[in-house]
Structure 1
Amino acid sequence: MTQAVFNFCAGPAMLPASVMKQAQAEMLDWQGQGVSVMEMSHRSKPYMQMAAEAEQDLRDLMAIPSNYKVLFLHGGGRGQFAGIPLNLSRSADSADYLLSGQWSRGALAEGEKYLHCKVAGEPNLIDGKVALPPQSALNINPDAAYFHYCPNETIEGVEFSYIPDAGHVPVVADMSSTILSQPLDVSRFGVIYAGAQKNIGPSGLSVVIVREDLIGNARQETPSILDYGLAVKHDSMYNTPPTYAWYLAGLVFKWLKSNGGLTEMAKVNRAKADTLYRFIDGSDFYRNNVDDNCRSKMNVPFQLADDNLDSKFLELSDAAGLKALKGHRIVGGMRASIYNAMPLSGVQALVDFMADFEKKFG
């Protein structure tokens, strides 16, 4: 019997098995066209129909209001670190950034190239564990061009339990690692953007959901590839888009709809996270250094009591079919990324392995 393999990589992450099988079956002949979808013109009628369906499926899943545009762009999440200030501000403006980890810090560093940026809040420690600031601790400038934050940080494993209220200031969210994991009130945001390689599809694609009143104000020096107005005008096809990634994203959207949408996905994601955190909390051999109120449901970092055992843990877990559990170099230890495509059985297999490892080496 072939050993089951579960991929806990933080990104590019695993895709649903059924989506991969469908893509495999359609690789050489898509919809009877006699060619692969990756070989087709993005302006052909079949491809444009597929692209339109993908957008509509995403709109359905997220209940995106009609006054928001959905863009499928190049550059992943990092591309939008520059795209946001170039489309939403002028050089004399200021913007607020809520820092929660490495990705929000990366967005801040890029934003500072284009305008004055102010830190609106930072994590702190509660009983030695990382905690995110509450709404009451945020210092938001009512005249800011926008307020930026990252709802879920993959490296530190922290997640906001609330959507910050910035008043009339447009809220911009980097949802690369949490989009489509649970229902969301899109109307609370000015812009939502996400690199695809965690919960949407393969790397290279980014999805941007932007309120219409924030479109058409790009700076003159904005590269055309980052101009939201041009992207809207040309239906995300100002130049050749990442066609195969867009196709795979569309398959993922249909998979989500067939599995009950985001309400059902949220239930599964909560069950997966609870299973793993419950085991860690019940063990003296493993620990998680994030406050209970802001633990990520997508990325679970954990440390062993003796870090000299890290290499042995990684060696044996990989041999057991549990892939990519090494923590980010900044925080060390282990990290299990359990995005939408990870089944509950994968998390249970990890917990079983961790229990067995503790018995042998604890």
Structure 2
Amino acid sequence: MSKRAYNFNAGPAAIPLAVLERAQQEFVDFQGSGMSIMEMSHRGAIYEGVHNETEQLLKKLLNVPAGYKVLFLQGGASTQFAMIPMNLLREGQVASYVMTGSWADKAIKEAKLIGETHIAASSEADKFMRIPALDEIEIPAHAAYLHVTSNETIEGTQFASYPDTGNVPLIGDMSSDILCRPVDVSKFGMIYAGAQKNLGPSGVTVVIAREELIAESPKTIPTMLRYDTHFKNNSLYNTPPSFSIYMVNQTLKWLEEQGGLAAVERNNREKANLIYNTIDNSGGFYIGCAQESSRSIMNLTFRLQSEELEKKFIKESEAVGFVGLKGHRSVGGLRASAYNAVPQETCQALATFMADFQQKNG
């Protein structure tokens, strides 16, 4: 390998090089077993040790309080969009959502198939280029839960803080920003995240939930879609995505080595500022999409003066090793996804390229 790509893919996304190298070393013979971890039984002691250690590592990094359980599920966040109302929305209640963009919209559409929904706040009038203020959020008294999408990858917006929901469980889809900063887990009834952005490879979805929320599910739900199935079986009811969970294990250890989430957040903000400062100091050559107070430190979205210039930017950036800078097909533009594993040098290289591109085309 002569050179690593400047990887700004939105997901599946960059994985720390150190994690990839460790996995490479252990790939054929894990812990002297004569097998890859992908080959061994999920009922065996070696795999179960990795499985349980991964839960403990995640709880330690996020400072998860007592009374919460970590589940390792499959089907991505998209399956959680349906599982949440199927398990938690009971007769006489309403599922309440903050409408912040593309992924919140997908979650709401799934909930509507299950029962009554309610929009607690929305930034649609601002084309989802901001996160609603906390005082805009109105939660019905009979709400089963309030759901927020903590970071919208397509629009490039992120909650700076979370609402206090009292006795109504707060549920957070943190697929694209989990572990990018410290979070007060005690404010949430449930947090869930697809792994393929900040946790490791695709294939496993992490759920962190208060035990009382998932201990008993309605008996009418198919077995694999019941939280209590996985809670009572330590996520080992069926064969888990063992290699993906192993990679999450290695990624969590790498995050510990970086100094924990406070250090990770500092690094992420420094990386994001390299690019946002380039946008803001470009005299309008680059145009940031999200309102400044709602800007994501994970997905940085921006535009140029014309689509033709954006196409040229993509073509020239790809020629020198940049990957994933094209905006989502639904909105166009440009997007740099600077997840935890994206090195600061990669963000610096992008800032330099952007300055050079402006000089040549401004």
Both structures adopt the same fold (TM-score exceeding 0.5): yes
Change (3 A) 1:37 1:214: same
Q: Which residue of 2 aligns with 1:49?
A: 49
1:164-210 Cα shifts (integer Å, max 9, x gaps): 12221100000000100001110000010000000001112100001
1:138-181 Cα shifts (integer Å, max 9, x gaps): 11112201110101000000011110122211000000001000
For the aligned residue pairs, the C-alpha RMSD in angstroms reads: 1.5
1:223-259 Cα shifts (integer Å, max 9, x gaps): 2222111111111010001111000000000000111
Q: Which residue of 2 aligns with 1:188?
A: 187
CA contact (8 A) 2:71 2:235 kept: yes
1: CA distance, partners of 2:297 / 2:291: 13
1:290-314 Cα shifts (integer Å, max 9, x gaps): 1111100000011112221222211
2: CA distance, partners of 1:216 / 1:17: 38
SS in 1 for 2:138: coil
Cα drift, residue 26 of structure 1: 1.1
Q: Are 1:35 and 2:35 an aligned pair?
A: yes
Number of equivalent positions: 361
2: CA distance, partners of 1:35 / 1:124: 52
* More deviation, 219-228/108-117: 219-228
Q: Which residue of 1 aligns with 2:121?
A: 121
Q: Which residue of 1 aligns with 2:156?
A: 157
Cα drift, residue 80 of structure 1: 0.5
Q: Which residue of 2 aligns with 1:63?
A: 63
Q: Are 1:90 and 2:85 an aligned pair?
A: no
2: CA distance, partners of 1:91 / 1:308: 52
1:71-111 Cα shifts (integer Å, max 9, x gaps): 01111111110111112122542110101010010000001
TM-score, normalised to structure 2, is 0.97
- The percent of aligned pairs where both chains have the same amino acid is 46
* More deviation, 187-196/132-141: 132-141
TM-score, normalised to structure 1, is 0.97
Q: Which residue of 2 aligns with 1:348?
A: 348
CA contact (8 A) 1:124 1:132 kept: no
CA contact (8 A) 2:215 2:232 kept: no
The one-letter code of the counterpart of 2:193 is A
Q: Which residue of 2 aligns with 1:270?
A: 269
2: CA distance, partners of 1:12 / 1:255: 18
Deviating 4+ runs (over 3 angstroms) = 1-4
Q: Which runs of 5+ in 2 are unaligned?
A: none
The one-letter code of the counterpart of 1:237 is L
Cα drift, residue 124 of structure 1: 5.5
Query: Structure 2 matches for 1:208-287, cutoff 5 A?
Result: 208-283=207-282, 284-287=284-287
Change (3 A) 1:163 1:34: same
